[in-house]
Amino acid sequence: MTDLDTVAGGRVYDLAHPLDPAMPVSPNHPGYRMALLRRHGDMVRADGGSASNEMIVLGGHTGTHLDALAHVSHDGKLYGGVSAAEAQVGGRFSKFGIDTVEPIFCRGVLLDVAACRGDAVGAGEPITAHELSRVAQHQGTSLPRDGAILIRSGWARHWDDPHRYLGYDSGVPGPDASAAEWMAAAHPRVTGHDSMAYEHLPAGAGHALLPVHRILLVEHGIHIIENLDMEHLSADRVYEFLFVCLPLKFVGATGSPVRPIAVAL
């Protein structure tokens, strides 16, 4: 078979959550709304045909989404020392907007922290560099340069309970600063996690400090995907795959909803 035949014959895993007004939404971002503007029967053509359409309103960081490098600054600077104030003149980013992110088509790996622990990572618990190294060794997984590294804590199982998923009281598990530095040393193109913020959020801390975003986006230029659903990938013990992710080309925006897939070859 050709390489194309191999890809076409692979099992596809949808890693995105469905977009619905009742889904969890970050306290820092707009949510999601959809309304039918034209219903079937509102207009009927002479031959009996009819059509319906809708208006969708959402933030760039709604649902499963990818962060552009314009999303986070530190001391007034974006990745590469670019002035955030200058880049955002005119109401949209002239540097590092989501429209500058090329389609992502690369080798991907899953670091299944939850499975290695034997259960989901607990609320408010950190995922450290030491633990990620141990998980990679346990799975026999090598990290792909310019690829995708996905970290599963098991938190996606709470998606249908927005209060618990956001973890206002309990905190949320996630990679800490040591994990981000460990990740950056492997030089991936993108990394993702199964929570609202790719961060370790202790109980009661909320989004007050987000050091992992600074390390990955600002210091190393590594894109972040949040709110991934990797439960089926984990259940089948698929740790290596072809990873595909296509952000929408919103000119000058800081993020985009995405529907990433993993293709097990």
Instruction: Specify if 128 maps to a domain.
Output: yes
Strands 65-67 and 126-127: unpaired
* Domains of the chain: total: 1
Instruction: Give me the mean pLDDT over the 187-200 stretch.
Output: 97
Radius of gyration, CA atoms only, the chain: 19
CATH number at residue 161: 3.50.30.50
- The model's pLDDT over 128-171, given as tens digits with 9 standing for 90+, comes to 999 999 999 999 999 999 999 999 999 999 999 999 999 988 99
Digit-coded pLDDT (tens) for 209-262: 899 999 999 999 999 999 999 999 999 999 999 999 999 999 999 999 999 999
Is position 200 within any domain? yes
Domain that holds residue 138: 3-18+60-264
Q: Please give the Cα distance from 127 to 174 (Å, whole number).
A: 5
Which carries the bigger pLDDT value, residue 150 or residue 9?
A: 150
Measured CA to CA, the distance from residue 189 to residue 109 in angstroms comes to 12
In a domain, 199, yes or no: yes
Report if residue 77 sits inside a domain. yes
For the record, the structure tokens of 130 come out as 């030491």
Average pLDDT, the chain: 95
3-state secondary structure the chain: CCHHHHHHCCEEEECECCCCCCCCCCCCCCCEEEEEEECECCEECCCCCECCEEEEEECCCCCCEEECHHHCCECCECHHHCEHHHHCCCCCCCCCCHHHCCCEEEEEEEEEHHHHHCCCCCCCCEECHHHHHHHHHHHCCCCCCCCEEEEECCHHHHCCCHHHHHCCCCCECEECHHHHHHHHHCCCCEEEECCCCCCCECCCCCCCCCHHHHHHHHHCCCEEEECECCHHHHHCCCCEEEEEECCCCCCCCCEEECCCEEEEC
At residue 9, does pLDDT exceed 90? Answer: no
pLDDT, mean of residues 72-98:
98
In a domain, 33, yes or no: no
Would residue 140 be called left, alpha or beta, if left means φ above 0 and alpha means ψ between -120 and 50 degrees?
left
- Asked whether residue 198 is domain-assigned, the answer is yes
Residue 65 domain-assigned (yes or no): yes
Q: Quick check: 203 pLDDT over 80?
A: yes
Number of CB atoms found within 10 A of residue 33's CB: 11
pLDDT band at 1 (very low <50, low <70, confident <90, very high): very low
The answer to whether residue 95 is domain-embedded is yes
Over residues 40-68, mean pLDDT: 96
